[in-house]
Structure 1
Amino acid sequence: MLLSLFFFSLCFAGGYSDPVTCSGIVPHRQRTDTISITDFGGVGDGRTLNTKAFREAIYRIEHVRRRGGTLLFVPPGVYLTESFNLTSHMTLYLAAGAVIKATQELGNWPLIAPLPSYGRGRERPGGRYVSFIHGDGVRDVVITGENGTIDGQGDVWWNMWRQRTLQFTRPNLVEFVNSRNIIISNVIFKDSPFWNIHPVYCSNVVVRYVTILAPRDSPNTDGVDPDSSSNVCIEDSYISTGDDLVAVKSGWDEYGIAYGRPSYGITIRRITGSSPFAGIAIGSETSGGVENVLAEHINLFNMGVGIHIKTNSGRGGLIKNITMSHVYIEEARQGIKIAGDVGDHPDEKFNPNALPVVKGITITNVWGVRVLQAGLIKGLKNSPFTDVCLSEINLHGMSGPRSPPWKCSDVSGFAHQVSPWPCSQLSSQETGSCASFSRD
């Protein structure tokens, strides 16, 4: 099923003939030095703890510099380990049949400080558990291979969340902080404790040819969340998780406003996936601003919401120049949702008068079948959403040719060939930034 859906994604995106890619964002590095985890005592029997082997191998890469960097090879086998940090100028390479598996013994899981743009852990006050594979202040790092697996064994964390016994925020599976020139490709990510891939305060990041899997009922297992980051490309991947497949973020309420680092220059293309939440999301943490996002050739199945732009009073931040096109949605509660009343707050210190500004949203060439409700656009009374441009959108309902009508408030913009017709606030006369909107 996974391969057939991914093949359909490529076909819907125009087949195999020279697709546009983001390969030029990060320069290709040919590693001149190769070491194996087995050189440092690594044992892939699924029982032996390999934390010492991974940490010693990466210490060697960091302190014995080789021109061109070093490739750390993980041969077939199951390598149980605690969390570990990556270093600059390295490639973590997983052979076919290689599994790096997180231990479920959580007593030694390190804590790190909260992100400054969040002010606290995303789930609990205070610090947060470090991601399973972590990079802070690194550059020129590659995680790749022959579709080996990074397995977070997240069910023990999910159960703590369900039982409300978490003391701190769960760890991401892979996180890069303050880093640049990162490539993640040709790896399977499985059962993350929290978000799967989280580049935050990063630039020049490519995520491609990955598979990200988690059960539909796994809490907060977002696929890829670029956060206060720039020049990020996510493409040619399959994602099936318990939360948003891709969510662009930039900080949380007063902390994100103060930190003031937007996400911009984000490209998302040829993604296929399934989730009870959103396919492509902006937010809800958008306090640093989100600008210049392109998502195209997206195929979504059995979804909560196809396209979701979400923010809230107290967020502040500017969301503009968001373009989503060539989206196929099959079975969803809602096709398109743009809303200003989504998401919680870190504490009582947020300013309810810090209103987000949402403008320049272009959504075109969307086809949906078995969509329960076509869409909802809910702006803010004191900060209406403007220049929302919809074109060539056809959303079929569960039992008829059309979904139930849209619900709209506090929005202005333009609509052309949208079925069912969205709302009276969206004019058939192009105005504002919609005046230069191409309907091709």
Structure 2
Amino acid sequence: MELARMILMRIQVTGIATLLVLVALILGQKGAEARKGRILESFEYIAMSCRAHSASITDFGGIGDGKTSNTKAFQDAVNHLSQYANGGGAQLYVPAGQWLTGSFSLTSHFTLYLHKDAVLLASQDMSEWPVLKALPSYGRGRDAAGGRFASLIFGTNLTDVVVTGANGTIDGQGAFWWQNFHKGKLKYTRPYLIEFMYSDNIQISNLTLLNSPSWNVHPVYSSNILVQGITIIAPITSPNTDGINPDSCTNVRIEDSYIVSGDDCIAVKSGWDEYGISFGMPTKQLVIRRLTCISPYSAAIALGSEMSGGIEDVRAEDITAIHTESGVRIKTARGRGGFVKDIYVKGMTLHTMKWVFWMTGNYKAHADNHYDPKALPVIQGINYRDIMADNVSMAARLEGIEGDPFTQICISNVTIGMAAKAKKVPWTCTDVEGISSGVSPRPCDQLPDQGPEKITACDFPAEPLSIDRVVLKSCTYRMKYT
């Protein structure tokens, strides 16, 4: 109203010409304000938590040319945004481009978001990879007796962290590391792509991970982890490029992921020999569903070999494996101690396998010579059901430990089509005890068929875990011109 009265007064004093000038000035001012506030980037995504503050890596000097190191830019961005941890949290946007970087650490109440055409390129300059102490539950590095290089995206003692995107890419440029590993030139264990330690409420989703130097995703000593919509690809001959390795973690959900790798697609772990026994933190309450795996030299799902802190209550369903060495594999040995118990698997579809089931108590790789050979693992309550497989070389190889048999094994409703050149004896079983029901070809005597009058469906828990009750939110990122 005040503006209208002012215009009317000016008309009365100076006439229509002045009015036109005033209108032009007002519209110009409004247009400038509109340009000033125009949204540069805007999108929505799904996450455990939304953030009140936003920034782009370009605000901190990031250059996405694939040549300039952005390690400092990433760490400066995280450090700056950490001030908002208690004020609604912050999100860091990585736009389209190739962003060369070494290791950097995240902060709590934080989201890292990668544009669909953003590529994080792992630096091949070792000075950009800090060296950390060996994990206490391992006592040494896995590649070397000393410490380990920090992971590309790293965090410790954090809460409420999201690493996500519109299927943006993290490329570990692993060939550099694989060659040095094979030549014995590395003093420390190779880095992983994403690792969180001693952390809670972590989401890793909607990303493509390529050519990791070693393991791809490694939550360790952590809880309430959601890994969702991840594509992982590495050459099938690349060393130890495991897909997703929950390690001494509680309440983990892995789903809707596709993995091609040179090692196990998912490897469940909890520490190594006397170090894992002493640390005593099991992996438990783990859900794996809707996984597709290709790994000709390893397993779709492996339990162990580092399982000395224990593994229990693992639930896997709707698993597809193609040209993979084994469907489910349990790896342990004398000196490991710990336990693998209450394992539930149902709904597997397998094509071209060496073994469908493999359990071994003779996996002898040890951290050092100080392990206790009297520390025997407990393997019990292993349930497999509703499985179809074809072109299989051998149905199962089940090898317990003499004097320490694997017990309470249940296998039901399994049909295995053998390959044209399959082994003459489809099942081998030593030091195992259990039952079977509706399994073809017929299992070994240690797993007696219950017969048509006692059709058995092996257990699978009906009650969901708390991680299944997590409700994701629709979050918004808006970056404006300033």
TM-score over 0.5 for the pair? yes
What displacement does 1:229 show?
0.3
1:404–1:420 Cα contact (<8 Å) kept: no
2:410 maps to which of 369, 383, 389: 389
* Number of residue-to-residue matches in the alignment: 412
2:412–2:457 Cα contact (<8 Å) kept: no
- TM-score, normalising length from structure 1? 0.91
What displacement does 1:400 show?
7.8
Moved over 4 A (4+): 400-404
- In 1, Cα distance between the equivalents of 2:292 and 2:222? 25
Gaps in structure 1 of 5+ consecutive residues: 1-25
Equivalent residue, structure 2, for 1:19: none
- Residues 58/338 of structure 1: CA separation in 2 closer, same or farther (3 Å cut): same
**Secondary structure at the counterpart of residue 264 of structure 1:** strand
1:143–1:185 Cα contact (<8 Å) kept: yes
Matches of residues 128-207 of structure 1 in structure 2 within 5 Å?
A: 128-207=148-227
Equivalent residue, structure 1, for 2:427: 406
- In 2, Cα distance between the equivalents of 1:403 and 1:264? 38
2:282 maps to which of 262, 277, 291: 262
What displacement does 1:438 show?
5.1
1:340 maps to which of 358, 361, 366: 361
AA at the equivalent of 1:338: M
What displacement does 1:361 show?
0.1
- Residues 65/293 of structure 1: CA separation in 2 closer, same or farther (3 Å cut): closer
Equivalent residue, structure 2, for 1:33: 53
Range that drifts further, 167-176 or 256-265? 167-176
AA at the equivalent of 2:406: F
Equivalent residue, structure 2, for 1:87: 107
1:371–1:403 Cα contact (<8 Å) kept: no
- In 2, Cα distance between the equivalents of 1:300 and 1:436? 22
1:307–1:335 Cα contact (<8 Å) kept: yes
- TM-score, normalising length from structure 2? 0.83
- Answering whether residue 67 of structure 2 is matched by residue 47 of structure 1, we say yes
Equivalent residue, structure 2, for 1:351: 372
What displacement does 1:177 show?
0.4
- In 2, Cα distance between the equivalents of 1:233 and 1:403? 39
- 1:5-37 CA distances to partner (integer Å, 9 max, x unpaired)? xxxxxxxxxxxxxxxxxxxxx982121111000
What displacement does 1:284 show?
0.7
- Answering whether residue 230 of structure 2 is matched by residue 210 of structure 1, we say yes
What displacement does 1:419 show?
1.1
**Secondary structure at the counterpart of residue 46 of structure 1:** strand
- In 1, Cα distance between the equivalents of 2:356 and 2:269? 21
2:85–2:110 Cα contact (<8 Å) kept: no
Structure showing greater radius of gyration is 2
What displacement does 1:312 show?
1.0
- Answering whether residue 253 of structure 2 is matched by residue 233 of structure 1, we say yes
**Secondary structure at the counterpart of residue 427 of structure 1:** coil
- In 2, Cα distance between the equivalents of 1:213 and 1:181? 26
- 1:300-353 CA distances to partner (integer Å, 9 max, x unpaired)? 001111111111110000111001111111011111101111240010000111
What displacement does 1:238 show?
0.5
What displacement does 1:161 show?
1.4
AA at the equivalent of 1:138: L
RMSD of aligned alpha carbons: 1.9
Equivalent residue, structure 1, for 2:320: 299
Structure having greater relative contact order (Cα 8 Å, sep ≥ 6): 2
Identity of aligned residues (%): 47
Higher helix residue share: 2
- In 2, Cα distance between the equivalents of 1:401 and 1:39? 60
